Chain A
Amino acid sequence: MTNPSPPFAMKGARVRRDGREVLAGVGLRVETGDVLAVLGPNGAGKSTLVKALLGLIPLAAGRTEIYGVPPARFRDWKRVGYVPQRLPMGGGVPATVREIVSSGRVARQSRWRPGTAADRAAVDRALAATGLTALAREPAHLLSGGQQQRVLIARALAGEPDVFVMDEPTAGVDAGNQVALAETLRELTGAGRTVVLVAHELGPLEPLITRTVELEHGRPVRERALRGRPLAAAPEATMEKSA
């Protein structure tokens, strides 16, 4: 509304999986600078929602746009940093923390050129911001859950995106490390970045959040503005009629 092409704009989004409606008509608009938390119980469709925002899960109905472009036609992926829930083990080939974080630069790199000094500097900054510098040469799959989460955040950070999409950054992370994570996020949001994150409960992240959307059974049921900000775009993030 204020901006013609916000980071994310979703309308009437439905996702079906195995005959079940996982998203049942979601409208959501994320403005630049928002720090939006998607809340809700297990199975409410939170992860599905953020994946659908990125076009990783196809919509059965409705539409979604990233900076005004449908995901299938979106090309400017360097503006987006996706932090998945976990570091998959795959076939068990080890990878160092630095290797994984460096792969976050891929959207900015040319296939035909080796990594540049700017790439290495961005990786160094991402490692430092997440407190991983000392662990850079360690195999990532042997780190603790909290440390692995920071590796995933550092990978997104290394790409220097404008908007972060984080799927449960606090899952499996103990209280102490959640505080450390909140500190990392504070620096990101301080720099004016847009963040969409999925959380079970906010915990130490709460002071950073500007908006929350609560999902239940694939529908947004409640929206709150935090830190005294007015409810932005209220009618957008509401329930839409189910079919």
Chain B
Amino acid sequence: MTEMLHYEFMRIALVMAVLIGLTAPAVGTFIVQRNLSLLGDGVGHVALTGIGLGLLTGTSPVLGALVVSVLGAVAIEVLRARSRSGADVALALLFYGGLAGGVLLTNAEGGGTSLQSYLFGSISSVAIGDLYVVAGLAVVVLGIVVLFGRELFLLCQDEEVARASGLPVRFLSVLIAATAAVTVVIAMRAIGLLLVSALMIVPVAAAQQVTRGFRGTMLLAMGVGVLSAVSGLAGSFQYDLPPGPSIVLLALALFTVAVAGGTVVRRRRARATASGNDEPPAAVRPGVEAEAEVLEG
């Protein structure tokens, strides 16, 4: 196993894996709670156009991806906030446009093979310069999570309460979408744009099976993220597998374990609270929704 540390590209790749494993689930916790699990996927598609633009204009594909995916995420958020029924279709249009535009632009540039590496990840081709960019972006993402965490928590809990607390709801919504876009760019070299959002969502889905709180979920998800990114990468080196799919499948395996563990935890908890609780949870009480019809047209 230590053999892989002899290679510089693997040392770089492992550091990158740790950074991705930390950042993607941290942002993902907010994304999941906000019911935006597919946002990362959409941004991934849009980012392809940015890569195409970067390749075509001879500038950095990462920079192209960063600019276009942040713009795409902001567009998605604006669409989501503005329209109620049309947002779904509008998002789909954006996704297809991003993917088609990316393929077309990279094709025009003649870089069909490099497209492949962005779609499915190619961590062996990363250079030290890429690592600096990823590390810088990871600091920005984690900084945003720390600085705006309290506000984002309330926003993701209940947007109306956030507004009635005077929070800048529109700004925070765009901020979380843009942060997700930056995270996509961080993770795309290792995991590939088609699987990139898996590492935002799957570790969170795994963690929330066994945790009680939001902070606990985020920290455990970051642990799951680092574990699956690092061991997936190591495994892919050892057995000559593509790293992106290895990382994602490992995360899914951890999710399966967490589901099993969560079932046990919940059963035990239910038994413990059965004595203290005289009411069933609100979710199963029919009367609770009584007055909601006026508000949710």
Chain A residues in the interface with B (C-beta under 8 A): 17-18, 22, 42-43, 45-48, 51, 54-56, 74-78, 80, 82, 84-96, 98-100, 103-104, 106-107, 109, 111-112, 137-139, 141-148, 155, 159, 165, 167-168, 171-172, 174, 176-177, 198, 200
> In whole Å, how far is B278's beta carbon from the nearest beta carbon of chain A?
7
- B58 adjacent to chain A (CB < 8 Å): no
List the A side residues contacting B158 at CB < 8 Å: 84, 87-88
Asked if residues A109 and B212 are in contact (CB atoms below 8 Å), the reply is no
Known A89-B283, A172-B282; judge A145-B166 contact (CB<8 A). no
User: 17 A-B contacts, Cβ less than 8 Å apart?
Assistant: A46-B294, A51-B160, A56-B160, A77-B164, A82-B164, A84-B161, A85-B295, A87-B282, A93-B29, A93-B156, A93-B204, A94-B216, A96-B213, A107-B167, A111-B148, A111-B151, A144-B277
Asked if residues A171 and B32 are in contact (CB atoms below 8 Å), the reply is no
CA distance A47 to B295 in the complex (A): 7
> In whole Å, how far is A187's beta carbon from the nearest beta carbon of chain B?
22
Known A94-B217, A139-B212, A143-B282; judge A46-B291 contact (CB<8 A). yes
Asked if residues A90 and B292 are in contact (CB atoms below 8 Å), the reply is no
Asked if residues B212 and A103 are in contact (CB atoms below 8 Å), the reply is no
Residue count of chain B within 8 Å CB distance of chain A = 53
Asked if residues B157 and A103 are in contact (CB atoms below 8 Å), the reply is yes
Interface residues of B in 167-196 (CB under 8 A from A): 167
Asked if residues A103 and B150 are in contact (CB atoms below 8 Å), the reply is yes
Which of B33, B166, B269, B288 makes the CB contact (< 8 A) with A172?
B288
Asked if residues B291 and A93 are in contact (CB atoms below 8 Å), the reply is no
> In whole Å, how far is A107's beta carbon from the nearest beta carbon of chain B?
5
> In whole Å, how far is A16's beta carbon from the nearest beta carbon of chain B?
10
List the A side residues contacting B33 at CB < 8 Å: 90-93
Closest B residue, CB atoms, query A95: B214
Chain B residues in the interface with A (C-beta under 8 A): 29, 31-37, 147-148, 150-151, 153-154, 156-158, 160-167, 204, 208, 211-217, 269, 273, 277-283, 285, 287-288, 290-295, 297
List the B side residues contacting A159 at CB < 8 Å: 165
List the B side residues contacting A54 at CB < 8 Å: 163-164
Interface centre among A22, A89, A95, A111 (most CB of B within 10 A): A95
Known A84-B161, A99-B153, A106-B151; judge A144-B34 contact (CB<8 A). no
Known A106-B165, A147-B279; judge A94-B292 contact (CB<8 A). no
> In whole Å, how far is A138's beta carbon from the nearest beta carbon of chain B?
7
Which of A18, A112, A172 makes the CB contact (< 8 A) with B297?
A18
Asked if residues A86 and B288 are in contact (CB atoms below 8 Å), the reply is yes
Known A107-B165, A142-B281, A172-B287; judge A48-B295 contact (CB<8 A). yes
List the A side residues contacting B32 at CB < 8 Å: 91-93
List the A side residues contacting B204 at CB < 8 Å: 93
> In whole Å, how far is A170's beta carbon from the nearest beta carbon of chain B?
10
CA distance A17 to B217 in the complex (A): 38
List the A side residues contacting B293 at CB < 8 Å: 42-43
Closest A residue, CB atoms, query B218: A93
> In whole Å, how far is A173's beta carbon from the nearest beta carbon of chain B?
8
> In whole Å, how far is A111's beta carbon from the nearest beta carbon of chain B?
6
Known A78-B166, A85-B291, A106-B167; judge A143-B147 contact (CB<8 A). no
Asked if residues A145 and B208 are in contact (CB atoms below 8 Å), the reply is no
Asked if residues B214 and A80 are in contact (CB atoms below 8 Å), the reply is no
Asked if residues A143 and B288 are in contact (CB atoms below 8 Å), the reply is no
Asked if residues B164 and A56 are in contact (CB atoms below 8 Å), the reply is yes
Asked if residues A96 and B34 are in contact (CB atoms below 8 Å), the reply is no
Asked if residues A56 and B163 are in contact (CB atoms below 8 Å), the reply is yes
CA distance A81 to B192 in the complex (A): 45
Asked if residues B213 and A168 are in contact (CB atoms below 8 Å), the reply is no
Interface centre among B33, B211, B280, B293 (most CB of A within 10 A): B33
Asked if residues B214 and A172 are in contact (CB atoms below 8 Å), the reply is no
Asked if residues B153 and A103 are in contact (CB atoms below 8 Å), the reply is yes
List the A side residues contacting B285 at CB < 8 Å: 145, 172
List the B side residues contacting A107 at CB < 8 Å: 165-167
Known A78-B166, A141-B283; judge A90-B35 contact (CB<8 A). yes
List the B side residues contacting A82 at CB < 8 Å: 160-161, 164-165
Asked if residues A148 and B29 are in contact (CB atoms below 8 Å), the reply is no
Asked if residues B213 and A200 are in contact (CB atoms below 8 Å), the reply is no
Asked if residues A144 and B147 are in contact (CB atoms below 8 Å), the reply is no
List the A side residues contacting B278 at CB < 8 Å: 144, 174, 176
Closest B residue, CB atoms, query A108: B165
Closest B residue, CB atoms, query A174: B279
